[in-house]
Amino acid sequence: MTAPERAPASMPTLAELIVCFSDLTYRDMLARAIATLKASGDYDASTHANSGDVRPLTVEENVELLQVGAEIARHVLHPAYVHHAVCAGASWLQIAEALGKDPRDAAGAYADWANRQHRLYGESGRIGLSDEEYRAALAAAERAWSEGGVSDAP
């Protein structure tokens, strides 16, 4: 598969998204824990985090947390990773289990992605799946599908 050019500088990297998500979820967890301890009367400023340093997430930050989480999911669930697993010899049962999907749905989504990538290469000549890569992807998908114990390949 031919890689596209580097993404614009304004787009955060996956590492940056993970740091942002981690920071927001940690602060949210800490603020909620402090609130729970205070509500139960068990909060002790000498042993627990300083509640003045930890503020609950704002509405905007809660929405940002959702957006960042969705963007991370788009990164890590990108069909290119299914392509790598298929080409490595993973069965559709293994792939579907990892994705939390039905094997037929996972294989169908992969076939759709491979078709789009092949068309993209035909239009651009630089990115997507070349004819050879496309044939290999379909052959690998067929092998993975049949070896996975699922009938009726996509």
pLDDT tens-digit series, residues 16-48 = 999 999 999 999 999 999 989 999 999 888 888
Q: How confident is the model at residue 106 (pLDDT cuts 50, 70, 90)?
A: confident
Distance separating alpha carbons of residues 107 and 59, to the nearest angstrom:
39
The model's pTM is 0.70
Distance separating alpha carbons of residues 53 and 59, to the nearest angstrom:
18
Q: Worst-scoring range by mean pLDDT, 58-72, 109-123, 137-151? A: 137-151
Higher pLDDT, 145 or 81: 81
pLDDT tens-digit series, residues 51-60 = 677 889 999 9
Residue 71 has pLDDT above 60, yes or no: yes
pLDDT for residue 3: 42
Domain spans in the chain, listed from the N-terminal domain onward? 14-76, 79-147
Q: How confident is the model at residue 145 (pLDDT cuts 50, 70, 90)?
A: low
